[in-house]
């Protein structure tokens, strides 16, 4: 018999705040976390804006020696995981930590370390490459360090699927618990790509917005959109088998009821023009959840603010939901947070959970000009009170990776 899977903890460090509470307050208050880049000298770039984590001092979270051995993306993963784990109130006294897994993903991993150490190699010679280069740079070290930090000994993996990474992590964690392999899993993602190599790479493929107005840079579904805004941060949720959570008296935020994942098999960066891959991911999630399309009250769209993503995702939602797409509330919160790449899905899963908890639809902020290709109800600019029982979150990644999860208000059956 399949198990039910619930969310019992959440943690976040984002461009809107260094906790879930502060991040959610920023969403509700329509705060734009985008501003001028400070993490590097961007004067020679066309890109001048990013969504950086604010007021971050690594020594508030780590000893100096430890911080030097952790890439920024790993630090964010550990900070969000600590908050989520503490929030869940899981301890060795109420849970077998051998059955608590860690599925923390990243789209890129330790890019700061990679850039720094490659610079050392080319400028100073191979003997100046740090022995910590590999342990700090590889993508799985977020999961590995979280496991060490919290003493968790269940399955530890890192799924790398570009901007779908942390939605895949949550979805696969849901399946793992559903089948009885673990009692709980910390799932999410982390990213720290705001460095010269990250900006240059995305800028040169013409993926980033060149706007100098922070309120008109990340503008999902707006006709004037010209690219995404790079974001950074880490977000983690604790997924737990329902009976295990009830037995230890855990607070249950919501229930994960559906997950779907597909591949476009089309192009390394562009989605299929007809939105087929994203459509099938949503349909798989709906089928897995055993619901009808009209049961979905809110969709947190991938909504990156690139021309292709927003128009194609709109078409995919229409194809997946049919007539129900005309009524469902949709928004993209990337106007608030920028695009956290591999951490975006986990952040947006938290936003869906909080939206269900507070019964509000977060808006698509800074929206001005309607695009005929994006003609669904995208909840422009203003928070809307709404009866939300079921929410869906979409994530789409370079390489044609598509993932959708469905989150439901928790109810006893």
Q: Catalytic residues, which ones? A: 163, 302, 339
Distances (CA, A) of 243 to 3, 87, 130, 286, 379: 8, 18, 47, 24, 36
How far apart (Å, rounded) are the C-alpha atoms in residues 195 and 397?
20
Quickly tell me which residue has 């707006």 as its tokens.
222
Q: β-strand 298-300 against 254-263: which pairing, if any? A: unpaired
Cβ(163)–Cβ(341) below 8 Å: yes
Task: Quote the strand ranges of 81-172, DSSP E.
Answer: 100-105, 156-157
| Phi, psi of 45, deg, nearest 5 | -95, 155
Cβ(409)–Cβ(251) below 8 Å: no
Other C-beta atoms lying within 10 Å of the C-beta of residue 2: 9
Under DSSP, is residue 189 helix (H, G, I), strand (E, B) or coil? strand
Cβ(33)–Cβ(51) below 8 Å: yes
**Which H or E run includes 103?**
strand 100-105
- Residue of 302, 290, 380, 374 lying closest to 342 (CA atoms): 302
Under DSSP, is residue 300 helix (H, G, I), strand (E, B) or coil? strand
């Amino acid at each position: 018999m399949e198990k039910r899977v619930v969310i019992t903890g959440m943690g976040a460090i984002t461009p809107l705040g260094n906790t879930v509470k502060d991040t959610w307050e920023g969403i509700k208050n329509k705060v734009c976390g985008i501003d001028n880049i400070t993490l590097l000298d961007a004067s020679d770039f066309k890109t001048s804006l990013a969504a950086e984590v604010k007021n971050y001092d690594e020594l508030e979270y780590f000893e100096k020696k430890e911080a030097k051995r952790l890439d920024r993306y790993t630090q964010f993963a550990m900070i969000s995981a600590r908050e989520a784990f503490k929030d869940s109130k899981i301890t060795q006294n109420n849970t077998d930590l051998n059955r608590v897994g860690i599925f923390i993903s990243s789209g890129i991993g330790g890019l700061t370390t990679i850039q720094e150490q490659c610079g050392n190699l080319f400028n100073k010679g191979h003997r100046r490459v740090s022995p910590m280069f590999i342990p700090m740079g590889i993508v799985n070290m977020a999961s590995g360090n979280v496991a060490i930090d919290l003493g968790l000994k269940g399955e530890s993996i890192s799924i790398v699927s570009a901007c779908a990474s942390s939605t895949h992590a949550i979805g696969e964690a849901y399946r793992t618990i559903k089948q009885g392999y673990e009692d709980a899993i910390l799932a999410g993602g982390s990213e720290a790509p705001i460095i010269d190599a990250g900006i240059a790479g995305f800028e040169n493929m013409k993926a980033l917005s060149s706007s100098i107005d922070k309120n008109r840079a990340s503008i999902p579904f707006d006709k004037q959109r010209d690219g995404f805004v790079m974001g950074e941060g880490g977000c983690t949720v604790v997924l737990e088998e329902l009976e295990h959570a009830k037995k230890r008296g855990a607070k249950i935020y919501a229930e994960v009821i559906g997950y779907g994942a597909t591949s476009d098999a089309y192009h390394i960066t562009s989605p299929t023009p007809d939105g087929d891959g994203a459509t099938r991911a949503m349909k798989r999630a709906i089928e897995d959840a055993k619901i009808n399309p009209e049961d979905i009250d809110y969709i947190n769209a991938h909504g990156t603010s690139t021309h292709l993503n927003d128009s194609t995702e709109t078409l995919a939602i229409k194809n997946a939901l049919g007539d129900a797409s005309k009524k469902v509330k949709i928004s993209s919160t990337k106007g608030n947070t920028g695009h956290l790449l591999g951490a975006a899905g986990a952040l947006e899963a938290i936003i869906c959970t909080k939206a269900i908890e507070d019964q509000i639809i977060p808006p698509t902020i800074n929206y001005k000009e309607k695009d005929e290709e994006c003609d669904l109800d995208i909840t422009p600019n203003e928070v809307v009170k709404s009866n939300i029982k079921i929410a869906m979150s979409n994530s789409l990644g370079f390489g044609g990776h598509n993932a959708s999860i469905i989150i439901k208000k928790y109810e006893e059956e």
